[in-house]
Structure 1
């Protein structure tokens, strides 16, 4: 591994022999993501507007800052609290679906599929006041469920074109010319992505127009919708109506956020949820301890649904979520590209090719920087010698001074899982709430174990996903676990 042989910072050779910087040095990351974040834009951002419109992931500079300013209040704690009834409604549907399938005894179920469906329905109802899935059928019926599931693999098949051909084409051709060329090019994968993106955009416009009509009819019409006016889109539209003219977002920008939110949140959340469930099967004592905590909390509140504050205040549930996101971040790295010459300082000196110790590195314009989220979260010099162990208990006592004093730029718990700086994950609190609501319901009501004849392996292909080793379906993401009803008190 790079980290073992070269430490937290190294120069590596990328595609076509181009020099790149690899780092998980806290000071370097802070410089790249926070202090001089404007000089380091996301790598290959050019395809973003073509895929998702001019949403938060696809914009830079002033337009990005303007969008983030509008969206920050949407993800406030107050709004997270107001979404609890929506979240509880979706997880109740999930509980009913699983209960129906295991009420006559334990059964093997692909929980990755159910976690993906749940994540999509959560962002659908709480994000846009829209339902994608009845959470009853064995497979989702809504076309969007199929499209969003197939989009990432389809984009992977176009990686070379997206990363190397498209940036060159955009420099010399207008968008309408690119669209014409795309339509006449006999390339099925390209046409598949085009059709998926067009469908996602059309549905986003449809949802937006329905919401817009409801607003024009008055508050009563908005409340009658699925989100009852408390979904993210409703809140965003209200904020936009109140904003000063210079801060208002265009309709196209609001519409673009829908596909952006779903694409950014669905696979990462379902990956995180699935990882927790898999780990709980490998550590049944943790599963039992978490269940005891949840049952005790429910008993303390006379069997009623836990409120936002009660749920997020459960220490062991919180520890399991944090430790999983530390050791097994769904995304292992992120890429940045310098827009001009830059000097990056280091907290830990490295030696150059001549053996000289250096405390800063010069990066020419257009240098690609790979930030290792995985190794930043697994640095033994910061977390201690047990850094590779999955130990939820580490979060129940003070963290090591080294990590507390490291000035790690991550927006969440001294971790890089949700990025840092002005492009950190704006919805990380939303994601945390999703995970806790879903895991709390699952562990309280069901018991999970690993099938004896199947070995589960996690592959990194952009977003970590589980597969079953061996057999004719290796490489197909799935998480088959034995599910049974948890025994009551």
Structure 2
């Protein structure tokens, strides 16, 4: 998803003003508009500020806690599949293919409380999301297809429309059914009951969200936010997980240290599941994830358009109307900030030895007021899945070094292939 810390020092403008000054450039993002509508990713100004306030409770740790069991279960399903494939002699796996299905499986459960069993069986809805992502990427590289009237005359344009309709129909049906349930019961009592049983999902939170004037989100707004979360929540987390497994496969000493940390944490526990309170007890695993996000940030660059002149600290001015592209990849590989930037060294993020560098030197989830609202969700899922994966499998390099391929997310050309060896403790 687009971490970094929002700058909230007193000598800076408030977050809402900063977001208004620098909305996202829509040259590329406009291709996503028919699919994602005016969700947080694409909206600007007052609408963005209003939605950001209403969506913040959806990512409160009390809500995220209830998702931990979902992450465990989705990882269990993926690992059972890996174990079966390894027993059949197919231990070479494209991490992006397997992990993307796993994160989509988790998100469908977290957003809609819907289980499509998409990791084992084909799902029309999941296939549509994957197709939309591929089509947007392809369109970006075809200059003549950037004109809507031409694009929608092509086979790709028609496929894009069909996939959009399928995704929208699914989301609309869930929203309408859930709204009927809310109207037939007291929404406050229902909220309390669902929260008590830890079954509150993203749609529930959005349906029950109200601003200070009592105004609710429309069905169209809820659909846009749900579709945005499904899109931005699956591929970025999958990229982060795939690349950290790659980095640990290349550094078996770090992989083994992570594994021992997880084994020690879960040594007397059955079944072997990661719980919310465990997340703070995995410091080295967390360091390994962060260093991988530095080397291989899921989102390689972001863009903003200045709606007024921006004065830089040295007095130079970025004129109003300019588009600014910020290279997250470039920042993370800057040799003046990071010593030996191409070396995978988790100890850069050792909390016991804090480094004197800018908080903006490490921004895998963007930064400032428009940073990723789902960064804690993403880090939680990555910690759970990585911990369980290393507990159950040894991950080894396979074939040639992959070539990095920046698309909507940072991928690997031809897939990111690794070899997995089941360890004695399989999925519980």
| TM norm structure 2 | 0.86
- Bigger RCO of structures 1 and 2 (CA < 8 A, at least 6 apart): 2
Matched residue of 1:214: which SS? helix
| Match runs of 1:251-270 below 5 Å | 251-270=219-238
Matched residue of 2:321: which SS? coil
**Aligned counterpart, 1:333:** 301
RMSD: 3.2
**Distance in 2 between the 1:466 and 1:85 partners?**
30
Check if 1:463 corresponds to 2:409.
yes
**Aligned counterpart, 1:58:** 42
**Aligned counterpart, 1:145:** 126
**Distance in 2 between the 1:319 and 1:206 partners?**
41
**Aligned counterpart, 1:470:** none
**Distance in 1 between the 2:14 and 2:88 partners?**
52
Q: Does structure 1 retain, via aligned residues, the 8 Å contact 2:66–2:198?
A: no
When Rg is computed on C-alpha atoms for both structures, the one with the higher figure is: 1
**Aligned counterpart, 1:388:** 342
Unaligned runs of 5+ in 1: 1-25, 167-177, 347-358, 409-413, 468-475
Matched residue of 1:360: which SS? coil
Matched residue of 1:41: which SS? coil
What is the CA distance between 1:464 and its match in structure 2? 1.0
**Aligned counterpart, 1:209:** 176
Matched residue of 1:382: which SS? coil
**Aligned counterpart, 1:120:** 104
- Structure 1 residues 77 and 189, CA gap change in structure 2 (3 angstroms): same
| Match runs of 1:39-54 below 5 Å | 39-44=21-26, 45-54=29-38
Write the deviation string for residues 89-133 of structure 1: whole angstroms up to 9, x where unpaired: 222222222222224667222222110001101111012211233
Write the deviation string for residues 136-157 of structure 1: whole angstroms up to 9, x where unpaired: 34xxx10122221122231133
- Structure 1 residues 85 and 216, CA gap change in structure 2 (3 angstroms): farther
**Distance in 2 between the 1:466 and 1:155 partners?**
18
**Distance in 1 between the 2:140 and 2:273 partners?**
45
Write the deviation string for residues 5-56 of structure 1: whole angstroms up to 9, x where unpaired: xxxxxxxxxxxxxxxxxxxxx99xx989967432221111545543312211
The range that moved more, 302-311 or 260-269, is 302-311
1:425 to 372, 387, 393: 372
1:313 to 281, 301, 304: 281
What is the CA distance between 1:165 and its match in structure 2? 5.8
**Aligned counterpart, 2:3:** none
**Distance in 1 between the 2:68 and 2:78 partners?**
15
| TM norm structure 1 | 0.76
| Match runs of 1:410-449 below 5 Å | 415-449=362-396
**Distance in 2 between the 1:221 and 1:376 partners?**
43
Q: Does structure 1 retain, via aligned residues, the 8 Å contact 2:285–2:383?
A: yes
**Distance in 2 between the 1:371 and 1:32 partners?**
20
- Structure 1 residues 454 and 160, CA gap change in structure 2 (3 angstroms): closer
What is the CA distance between 1:343 and its match in structure 2? 3.1
**Distance in 1 between the 2:285 and 2:256 partners?**
12
2:167 to 182, 200, 203: 200
What is the CA distance between 1:275 and its match in structure 2? 0.4
2:209 to 224, 234, 239: 239
- Structure 1 residues 387 and 101, CA gap change in structure 2 (3 angstroms): same
Q: Does structure 2 retain, via aligned residues, the 8 Å contact 1:119–1:270?
A: yes
**Aligned counterpart, 2:318:** 363
**Distance in 2 between the 1:364 and 1:394 partners?**
36
What is the CA distance between 1:380 and its match in structure 2? 3.2
**Aligned counterpart, 2:217:** 249
Check if 1:98 corresponds to 2:105.
no
**Aligned counterpart, 1:229:** 199
What is the CA distance between 1:327 and its match in structure 2? 1.8
Q: Does structure 1 retain, via aligned residues, the 8 Å contact 2:140–2:146?
A: no
Q: Does structure 2 retain, via aligned residues, the 8 Å contact 1:182–1:191?
A: no
- Structure 1 residues 250 and 75, CA gap change in structure 2 (3 angstroms): same
**Aligned counterpart, 1:485:** 422
Check if 1:133 corresponds to 2:117.
yes
Unaligned runs of 5+ in 2: 1-5
